Structures are given as C-alpha cells and as structure tokens.
C-alpha cells in the first residue's frame, strides 16, 4: 500500500523535488555556510517550528472533505477503522457476486458483513459489478446498520433465530448497503428494519429499555419514526428526541451498559 504520496503533511515540509531549487524551507535550512559551518541556533529553532507547523485543516482522499486539525486521534482512528472495514466488505462483496454464476440457495458461508444474500434475490440482484461503491455513502449506511446491531434486541434476535431459519418478510433482514438505493429509500428500509427488530426488545418494564438511547435516529433522519405498539420503546424514542447527547457519549455505551446489566441479571 502506498499512501505516502497523498499525505499533505509532506506538502507542508516540502521535501524531494523542491530541495535542489533552494526555495523550500528545508533546503534553506540545510544550506551550509561557505565554510561548512553548522546552521545557527535560530535557524534550527525555525526549522523545528516549520516542521511542527501544519495547516489548520487538510484533505486526504480518505476523508470526507476537509478534516479540521482540531479532531482528536480517537475519532480519527474510529473513522479510519470504519472506512477500512467498509473497503474490506466491498472487496469481499465484489468477489462474492462476481463469483456467483448460479444462485446457490443452500450456501452456508457467513462472510460477515454484506448482510444479505443477493444470489437469492433474483428480482433485484445487482448486475455484475453494478453496486454502491461510494465510500461516503457506504460508511454512512454502515453506521446506521451499526446503530441497529448495537442493541439488545438485535442480540436477542440473532440468538433466537439462526440465519438459516429466517423467513422472508417475517424476520427482519439487515438492508444490504451495497445495493443501489436512493437516500430516502435506504433510510426508510433502515427504519422499517429497526421497527421490526423491536419485536425482540427485552420484556417491558426493564430498566435497560429506557437506557437504550438511540441517536442514530436523530442523526440521520426525521423524528417521525413509527414505533411498534410497545409503549416502552415509544418512550425510549421520545426520550431520545428530547435529549441532546453528543454522538461521542453515545458510541458503544448502550451496548456496554446493557451487556453488563444483562450479565448481572443472568
């Protein structure tokens, strides 16, 4: 992998081709006096500062537009991980659909992340190579999927109903992020999927139910989520709407808290 050419940090330090022209900061610093003496202390300090001075924002091909320098490493690495997960999924998916000549109904492969078997969906199976490849879109969709999977309901669902036993229409099926859909269509599929998953929510009256705050719904679409008849889940969504938590405090917390309490209860 060779990312090095694209890093704009290097642009700040202006290495290689400008070096000999003498116009870069680096070559100026390294220029020796006629007597070969060392550069003076101020120049050293200057160079040191130049090395650490960086633009306020920068763009790499991997980021979604300009990335503010203020971003913290924790967030940056999370974003990196999302992108690389999505890229990995894409490679697997591409291999899978290109390899399929005949739909295989009884394939037991669980290669993890593309979430549905296109080989079976004869009516909307993508033409070979014709699927969503825009990383921004894929990352956004994956985040929405993650919100749904990061719930007790999903956990209970997958324990209760193995993939092989799932019936189309009856059991919730994770939307396939690689299929081409409009934004509205995709958002709607996610909503419906989440609603269906609520059927596996832990029994009403649970403390955990109220703590299942889900900002995914706020972040990515309007607040007119159709809730199931379960009053507790409606309560949870309403609470989510009125809370102004940052995404950061949300990430991972519900799942972790739930798991701990789940462990305590069992």
Partner 1 sequence: MEKMENLSKEDYKIQSFDLETQKLLKTALKDPGSVDLEKVSSVIVDQSLKDQIFSREAGRICYTIVQAEAKQSNGSVFRRNLLNRLQQEFKAREETRKRSTQEWVCLVSFICNIFDYLKVNNMPMMALVPPVYDCLFRLAQSDALKNEEEVDCLVLQLHRIGDQLEKMNAPLMDELFNLLRDGFLLQEDLSSMGRLLLLEILEFRAGGWTLSDTAQKYYYSEVTD
Q: Binding residues for partner 1, per CB under 8 A?
A: 1-5, 7, 9-10, 13, 15-16, 26, 30, 32, 36, 38-39, 41, 44, 47-48, 51-52, 54, 60, 62, 72-78, 80-81, 84-85, 88, 150, 251-252, 255-256, 259-260, 263
**Which CB sits closer to partner 1, 29 or 227?**
29
| Residue 222: CB minimum distance to partner 1, A | 28
**Which CB sits closer to partner 1, 22 or 252?**
252
**Which CB sits closer to partner 1, 2 or 122?**
2
| Residue 202: CB minimum distance to partner 1, A | 17
| Residue 56: CB minimum distance to partner 1, A | 14
| Residue 51: CB minimum distance to partner 1, A | 5
**Which CB sits closer to partner 1, 80 or 226?**
80
| Residue 26: CB minimum distance to partner 1, A | 6
User: 10 Å Cβ neighbour count for 193?
Assistant: 17
| Residues in contact with 125: Cβ distance below 8 Å, sequence separation at least 6, in sequence order | 97, 103, 118, 119
**Which CB sits closer to partner 1, 33 or 203?**
33
| Residue 86: CB minimum distance to partner 1, A | 10
**Which CB sits closer to partner 1, 43 or 121?**
43
């Amino acid at each position: 992998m060779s990312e090095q050419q694209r890093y704009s940090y290097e642009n700040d330090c202006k290495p290689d081709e400008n070096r000999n022209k003498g116009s870069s900061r680096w070559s100026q610093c390294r220029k020796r006096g006629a007597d070969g003496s060392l550069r003076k202390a101020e120049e050293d300090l200057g160079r040191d500062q130049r090395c650490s001075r960086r633009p306020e924002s920068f763009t790499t091909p991997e980021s979604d537009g300009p990335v503010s320098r203020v971003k913290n490493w924790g967030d940056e690495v999370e974003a990196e991980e999302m992108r690389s997960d999505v890229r990995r999924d894409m490679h697997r998916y591409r291999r899978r659909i290109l390899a399929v000549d005949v739909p295989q109904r009884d394939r037991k492969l669980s290669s993890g992340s593309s979430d549905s078997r296109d080989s079976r969906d004869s009516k909307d199976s993508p033409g070979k190579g014709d699927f969503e490849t825009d990383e921004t879109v894929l990352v956004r969709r994956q985040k929405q999927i993650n919100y749904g999977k990061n719930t007790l309901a999903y956990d209970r669902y997958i324990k209760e109903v193995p993939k092989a036993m799932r019936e189309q229409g009856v059991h919730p099926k994770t939307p396939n992020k690689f299929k081409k859909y409009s934004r509205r269509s995709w958002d709607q599929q996610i909503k419906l999927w989440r609603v269906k998953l609520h059927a596996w929510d832990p029994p009403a009256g649970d403390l955990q139910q109220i703590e299942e705050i889900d900002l995914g719904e706020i972040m990515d679409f309007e607040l007119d989520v159709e809730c199931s008849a379960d009053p507790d889940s409606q309560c949870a969504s309403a609470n989510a709407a009125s809370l102004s938590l940052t995404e950061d405090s949300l990430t991972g917390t519900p799942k972790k808290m739930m798991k701990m309490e789940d462990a305590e209860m069992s």
